[in-house]
Amino acid sequence: MLSRLMPQQGNFFTLFNAHAEQIVIGSRELARLFAEFTDLDVRAKNIDRAEHAADKITHETIALLHKTFITPIDREQILQLINGMDDILDLMQDVAEAVVLYDVRKVTAEATQLGEISQMCCERVKIAVGLLQNLREPASILKTCEEIDRLESDADRVMRSAMSKLFRDESDIKQLIKLRTIYEQLELITDRCEDVANIIEGIVLENS
């Protein structure tokens, strides 16, 4: 009974890292989906599997937060971080489902490039999350967050160019609508990665 009343500090960083691993798994499947554009159902199912695994980790994190008296970082920051990470995988799932449900028949170089940038962003999210446990080295974390910001800007430029080309050259209205949606969702993945980077920057600046 007494042990239950003593201050506790849950191992949130282990859960963050496990979630980030699922983000990277999902991003690699998504990048391969656009790069190879084969086995679309398989890729979508693999992303769906990663999203469900990440959902369980999110729920476990929130449950632990309710049970933990002392947390390693601010409670609100823990909630923001895990929910922000969850949003990344939710969007990847949306993109993969859209490709399958919309019966997209061909992929563009711009969609492939956005998939690659999304993967690079997600890999850096994993790096930044992994470094959070050691706030004595804030420069490394902030450098990784800056890389995510730059990649998000790259994705913005690719999407603007892709949209311009799409509305200029695509005569099939259905194909135009499908690709516009795919482009927007892919770019949103990098936006959500940037959101997570901003949360991490806030944690670093408040705790270093």
User: Over the stretch 142-189, which tens digit does the pLDDT of each residue have?
Assistant: 999 999 999 999 999 999 999 999 999 988 899 899 999 999 999 999
Q: Tell me the pTM.
A: 0.92
| pLDDT at residue 64 is higher than 50 | yes
pLDDT at residue 2 in the model = 29
Q: Rounded to an integer, what distance in angstroms lies between the CA atom of residue 27 and that of residue 33?
A: 10
Q: 5 pLDDT exceeds 90?
A: no
Buried b / exposed e along 83-95 (16+ C-beta atoms within 10 A): ebbbbbbebbbbb
163: its two tokens: 């949209």
- Give residue 27's region: left, alpha or beta (phi > 0; psi -120 to 50): alpha
Cα–Cα distance for residue pair 151/154, rounded to 1 Å: 5
Q: What is the pLDDT of residue 82?
A: 97
Q: CB count, 10 Å around CB of 146?
A: 13
Domains of the chain: 9-207 (1.20.58.220)
Report which residue type is found at 184: E
Surface-to-core class of residue 9, CB atoms within 10 Å of its CB (0-12 exposed, 13-18 middle, 19+ buried): exposed
Residues 132 and 128: their CA atoms lie apart, in Å, by: 6
What pLDDT does residue 122 have? 98
Q: What is the pLDDT of residue 10?
A: 57
pLDDT value at residue 69:
84
Q: What is the pLDDT of residue 9?
A: 52
pLDDT of residue 3: 36
Residue 4: pLDDT over 80: no
pLDDT tens sequence across 75-105: 999 999 999 999 999 999 999 999 999 888 8
pLDDT, averaged across the chain: 92
Among candidate residues 178, 182, 128, 130, the one with its CA nearest the CA of residue 155: 182
What pLDDT, in 10s, does the model give residues 95-136? 999 999 988 888 899 999 999 999 999 999 999 999 998 777
